[in-house]
């Protein structure tokens, strides 16, 4: 959203486990636990469920229920109560989790004259500052609804499943992108519609179902193993400024990640 490139090719990147090594609910949960926003039991469940999420993934039905549970947890939260945790979220938690391999690919695509876009179901208040820090050209993300400085628990747009290719096609029409000559990178079978939207699909650290699918279709499979700190990798980049309202929404969005762990832990114990 900061570049006016004339490129007709693009590279679309999912965020979690593709650019970022993990969602980090344990580290984030500790911050919110200290603030009194989540209970000790929720924190413990998030730790366990993060392992289950990485091993087993989540289908569309599970993710929709996760979204609903996250909405219940965050609805009514006020900006001034959570703004103080944002610096930890952006720099101490997210920044050290960036894959070096993803940074190299972003650099290579830019060097080849392609637009680079993050496509994530995370709230745009998380994705936007990270995209700016990484010098990403565009981003597609979920948009939470806010009224009177509080979160309603609703979303104006949910960047998940079939909504991702819809947004990608809209961006392609706006920017003149040739999707048949473009790339997409993701780890989850739930992003299969995103991969099928481009001519150059690449799976990164895929879950079992996506790996099987990629092998059958002879898609490229990449393994990213080396997270690095942006602070050390990009010392010349200035940290993006974040407004109080945007800071609050970043924190709320991250609580949604913790809630993913909470809900998955309940589902895992029932199956």
Catalytic residues: 14, 16
The CA-based dihedral angle spanning residues 200, 204, 208, 212, taken in that order and rounded to the nearest 10 degrees: 30
Dihedral angle computed from the Cα positions of residues 166, 171, 173 and 177, in that order, rounded to the nearest 10 degrees: -110
Counting Cα atoms < 13 Å in the Cβ hemisphere of 219 gives 26
Could you give the 3-state DSSP secondary structure of residue 160? coil
CA distance from start to end of the chain: 43
Instruction: Catalogue the E-assigned strands of the chain.
Output: 10-13, 98-99, 115-123, 138-147, 150-157, 183-186, 200-204, 220-222, 227-228
Q: Given its phi and psi angles, is residue 203 left (phi above 0), alpha (psi -120 to 50 degrees) or beta?
A: beta
Contacts of 79 (CB under 8 A, 6+ apart): 149, 150, 244, 245, 247, 248
Q: Are 189 and 57 in contact (CB under 8 A)?
A: yes
3-state class (DSSP) for residue 76: coil
d(CA 40, CA 44): 6
205: left (phi over 0), alpha (psi -120 to 50) or beta: left
């Amino acid at each position: 959203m900061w570049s006016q490139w004339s490129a007709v090719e693009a590279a679309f990147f999912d965020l979690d486990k593709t650019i970022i090594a993990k969602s980090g609910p344990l580290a984030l949960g500790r911050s919110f636990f200290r603030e009194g926003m989540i209970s000790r039991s929720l924190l413990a469940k998030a730790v366990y469920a993060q392992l289950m999420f990485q091993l087993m993934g989540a289908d569309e039905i599970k993710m929709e229920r996760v979204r609903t549970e996250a909405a219940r947890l965050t609805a009514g939260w006020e900006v001034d109560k959570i703004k103080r945790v944002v610096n930890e979220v952006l720099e101490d938690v997210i920044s050290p989790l960036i894959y070096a391999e993803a940074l190299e690919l972003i650099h290579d695509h830019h060097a080849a004259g392609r637009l680079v876009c993050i496509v994530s179901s995370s709230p745009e208040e998380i994705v936007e500052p990270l995209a700016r820090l990484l010098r990403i050209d565009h981003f597609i993300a979920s948009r939470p609804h806010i009224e009177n400085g509080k979160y309603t628990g609703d979303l104006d747009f949910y960047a998940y499943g079939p909504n991702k290719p819809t947004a990608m096609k809209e961006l392609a029409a706006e920017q003149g992108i040739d999707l048949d000559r473009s790339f997409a990178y993701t780890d989850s079978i739930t992003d299969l519609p995103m991969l099928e939207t481009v001519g150059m699909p690449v799976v990164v650290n895929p879950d079992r179902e996506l790996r099987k699918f990629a092998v059958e279709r002879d898609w490229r499979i990449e393994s990213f193993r080396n997270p690095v700190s942006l602070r050390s990798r990009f010392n010349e980049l200035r940290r993006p400024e974040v407004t109080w309202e945007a800071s609050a929404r970043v924190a709320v969005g991250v609580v949604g990640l913790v809630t993913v762990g909470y809900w998955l832990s309940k589902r895992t114990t029932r199956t």
